[in-house]
Structure 1
């Protein structure tokens, strides 16, 4: 039996602002934007190359906006990925390399969406 994580709901205050951030600033693909009523709207977006999407909207989750932390976008070249996002207007922290003696280095660079949901670029050792 396979168990695939393919969708993560994110609480946001302004769906259109968040959609613009994720699509235009981060380059996520808009897979779906569906609203059958004012009480429900779902927007599904997928990062380039990812099998897992995020959903934002109205009537999806009861958690407070900005409460999701520690989402990782794994990249092959963290410096190029950071430069691309910074060039698109995203405030991304400087790259931090972490490792232990004799262990491969893992690199991280953190950023948040407009509501404070926390993301991290991560580069694993090759």
Structure 2
């Protein structure tokens, strides 16, 4: 039995602003933008190369905007990924490295969406 995580809901205050950030700034592809009523709208976007998407909208999730933290985008070249996002206007932190004796180094660079939902670029030593 496979258990695949393929969708993470994100709470946001402004759906159009969030969509512009995820599509124009982060380069995510739009899978769905559906609004059958004024009270409900779901936008689903997927990072390039990912099997997992994020969804946000009106009536999608009841948690507070900005309350989701620790989402990781795993990349092969964190410096190139950080430079790409910074070039698109994302306020992404400098790369930091974590290591422990006998363990490979893992690199991180954090950023948030316009509502404060927290993301981290991560490069694993392979």
Residue of structure 2 equivalent to 1:119: 119
SS of residue in 2 equivalent to 1:51: coil
1:102 paired to 2:102: yes
**Cα deviations by residue, 1:35-61 (Å, 9 ceiling, x for unpaired):** 000110000000000000000100011
Residue of structure 2 equivalent to 1:76: 76
Residue of structure 2 equivalent to 1:53: 53
Name the Cα RMSD after superposition.
0.4
Uncovered stretches (5+) of structure 1, i.e. residues with no partner: none
Q: Per-residue deviation at 1:73?
A: 0.1
Uncovered stretches (5+) of structure 2, i.e. residues with no partner: none
- List 4+ stretches of structure 1 deviating above 4 A: none
Q: Per-residue deviation at 1:30?
A: 0.4
Q: Per-residue deviation at 1:112?
A: 0.0
**TM-score if structure 1 supplies the norm length?**
0.99
Cα distance in 2, alignment partners of residues 106 and 54 from structure 1 = 24
- Counterparts of 1:33-48 in structure 2, within 5 Å, are 33-48=33-48
Q: Per-residue deviation at 1:95?
A: 0.3
**TM-score if structure 2 supplies the norm length?**
0.99
Cα distance in 1, alignment partners of residues 103 and 71 from structure 2 = 23
